[in-house]
Structure 1
Amino acid sequence: MRGVGWATGYVLGLAALAVSGAWVWWQAEPEARGTEVNALWARHQWVGERHTEEEYRTLGALLRQNRITDVYFHAGPFEADGSVPPRKYRNAGDLVKAMRRHAPGVRVQAYLGQIRKVDGRGLTDLDVPRVRDRVLETDRIFLDLGFDGIHYDFEPIYPDDTAFLTLLDRTRELTRSRGRLLSVAIEQPTLVDAFQPVYRALIPRGHGARPVHYPPRPTEEYLRALADRVDQVAVMTYDVSLPTESLAGWHFAHHTEQVLRLIGDRTTVFMGVPTYRPLMPWAEKLKVALKGVRRGIDELERKPRKPFGVGIYAEWTTDASEWAHYRSLWLPSRSDNLHD
């Protein structure tokens, strides 16, 4: 029993050191400022319901004031066969036209996704060629309606998912032929790729004919493969579930540095930051996330060659005070741009 007590005390001591070290690290203010290339996930009602001209005007003003360059308007989700019923996007054409009037220059993308079928669980099975074909037919519908791009959010995506890479290859052929964009939302990467054997042993993925054991997070290799196939990668960095601001801030800083170092020269990157109410709202909040992203940028040896910014999740949960924090903590001043 004494040995168990010593071991427990040792573990608790290490945890206390980690927490105190993170707190000390967190006190310094970041030097990096934010950027003017930023994204926003927007609710389905914009695509599925009618809106007044004043509502469109207000949305456009919000996007311009906060220098949002890309909006992912939820337009799905996909059905099992890769289609989207027309009733779900009956207002899509009017939305695109309204954004041209009230937010010219903002890229309006169709946000499409579904629970990816894996080992018998989920809905849309991307391993089936005819399903991928139908997804592409659906993409064409939204591009024909005037959307500037297709934004995929299929979950879960595991780092052996070659069918998803095939879908990205074919979708990019389509979007490039139309002069449009392809973007993808993806989970935050694994903290340490070398832990994959441990994940495989301890975390079962499923119980199908070919069960695989590891979490649905991209490895470095898979993240690069994604980046080489799309115009934008939006990393869903939120859902941290860490109990203090300093630990949550370290999470955002670490992933920002890691992702921008790995793919920042390959594609535009948006680091997802939350405005919804997560499991631990006292720690994971917009102010903490923005400071963490800036700290991560500070850790880079040089800035990426491609544009980068943050992706705000989500339009329907962001209140006026959070938009004010975003502008003050993230957006560079206009005078900063004059000296770049």
Structure 2
Amino acid sequence: MTIRRTIRHVLRWAMIVLAVALALGLIAAGALRLQFAGSPAAWARTTGHDALWMGHAWVDGRKTAADVDALAVRLRQSGIRDVYVHSGPFDADGALPADKYPNAANFLKWWREKLPGVRVSAWLGQVVDGGVQGGLDLADPATRTRIVAGAKALSDLGFDGVHYDFEPVPDGDRPFLDVLTGTRQAIGSKLLSVATQQIEPLPGMRFPLRLIVGHDKYWTPGYFRQVADLTDQVAIMTYDSWTPLPSLYGGHVVRQAKLAMGLVPEDKTILIGAPAYHDHLVGLSDFAESVEAAADGARLALTDEGPRSNLGLALYVDFAATEEDWKEYETAWVRPG
């Protein structure tokens, strides 16, 4: 009897936990759907502060001047002001050998001839795992010194700025802030940009999700603000949201954009990451997430909280973007009907 009572007791509590989790999930879904309600204002659209992540082929010799010419035709009709060109990744000790970007000087020359008004930042990053499985240990001062030195070398080569993408960075991580501070000192007034994790949608959501995935998926608003204060741009990676429907992903984007507008000073740029790729970690995300949904969410957030001239979309990523992705960017954001 004692064993049976124990089993019943465990099952009862398991059912309660499951019911609570289901209820919270339904409440969250309902809240996201409500965020995505309404119609965006006609003025809520690109203001020419958009961005594009670009792959490594541009600096390793695979791309040519002709490729720059072709891309320039597309970008001249867009709102893209910044591109982040993958020039790493850092080695496990934070070093960035020059042989990782052998064609960077030529690329910059071609780019300036065709698109002088579009800034080019070196996209740099690496997995952050404390050095456990070959990733970076940002807590190591020597590693941080090498990271900053690598960023400065690319700045000196002629890049307009540095765009960091370290993942995952724990909420409240001080060494990451030290990297940003050191990089600012090294590159001076050049653009300092960072790809950020998503902002905790509601207080208390960060911790349970951390238990599930093993690392921080969300940053608290306070830490996000600290990062924003040390940079010129924050690009929120709103994709891989684990939302199963376009309306819920759109609501997620609205929430992220509104939170960011309340945290980032007016003189800094907010970029909403738009998923121009189709190999999401979670299968349903390929259905739920799109450039169009991200654009619609950003427009709704601007309608409610704006106008704000320095909020844009950042398309991820050039080598995976389809013609449909570019069409959605054009019709839902650049020239919405």
Interval containing the TM-score (normalised by the shorter chain): 0.7 to 0.9
Deviation at 1:262, TM superposition (A): 1.2
Equivalent position SS for 2:313: strand
Correspondence for 2:229: 228
Equivalent position SS for 1:317: coil
User: What number of residue pairs does the alignment pair up?
Assistant: 320
**1:5-16 alignment runs, 5 A limit:** none
Amino acid of the structure 2 residue aligned with 1:232: Q
Correspondence for 1:295: 300
Deviation at 1:35, TM superposition (A): 2.5
Amino acid of the structure 2 residue aligned with 1:289: A
Moved more, 256-265 or 7-16: 7-16
Structure-2 separation of matches of 1:332 and 1:294: 12
Equivalent position SS for 1:138: helix
1:47 and 2:51 matched: no
Correspondence for 2:316: 313
1:244 and 2:245 matched: yes
* Counterpart contact for 1:61–1:103, Cα < 8 Å: no
Structure-1 separation of matches of 2:207 and 2:253: 25
**TM-score normalised to the size of structure 2?**
0.85
* Counterpart contact for 2:206–2:217, Cα < 8 Å: no
Deviation at 1:297, TM superposition (A): 1.6
**1:125-136 alignment runs, 5 A limit:** 125-136=137-148
Equivalent position SS for 1:114: strand
Amino acid of the structure 2 residue aligned with 1:126: L
**1:118-267 alignment runs, 5 A limit:** 118=130, 120-176=132-188, 179-196=189-206, 198=208, 202-203=211-212, 205=214, 215-265=216-266, 267=268
Deviation at 1:27, TM superposition (A): 5.6
Percent of aligned pairs sharing the same letter: 35
Moved more, 311-320 or 275-284: 275-284
Amino acid of the structure 2 residue aligned with 1:144: D
Correspondence for 1:282: 287
Correspondence for 1:325: 328
* Counterpart contact for 2:234–2:271, Cα < 8 Å: yes
- CA deviations on 1:296-321 (whole Å, 9 max, x unpaired) are 22221x434x7120110011111223
**Partner of residue 103 from structure 1, selected from 115, 131, 134:** 115
Change (3 A) 1:175 1:245: same
Equivalent position SS for 1:311: strand
* Counterpart contact for 2:209–2:217, Cα < 8 Å: no
Amino acid of the structure 1 residue aligned with 2:93: D
Structure-2 separation of matches of 1:191 and 1:10: 19
Equivalent position SS for 1:93: helix
Change (3 A) 1:303 1:140: same
Change (3 A) 1:124 1:24: closer
Amino acid of the structure 1 residue aligned with 2:57: Q
Amino acid of the structure 2 residue aligned with 1:187: Q
Moved more, 131-140 or 231-240: 131-140
The root-mean-square deviation of aligned C-alpha atoms, in Å, is 2.8
Deviation at 1:14, TM superposition (A): 7.9
Structure-2 separation of matches of 1:108 and 1:54: 18
Structure-1 separation of matches of 2:277 and 2:213: 29
The answer for unaligned runs of 5 or more in structure 2 is 1-7
Equivalent position SS for 1:141: helix
1:28 and 2:38 matched: yes
Moved more, 230-239 or 259-268: 259-268
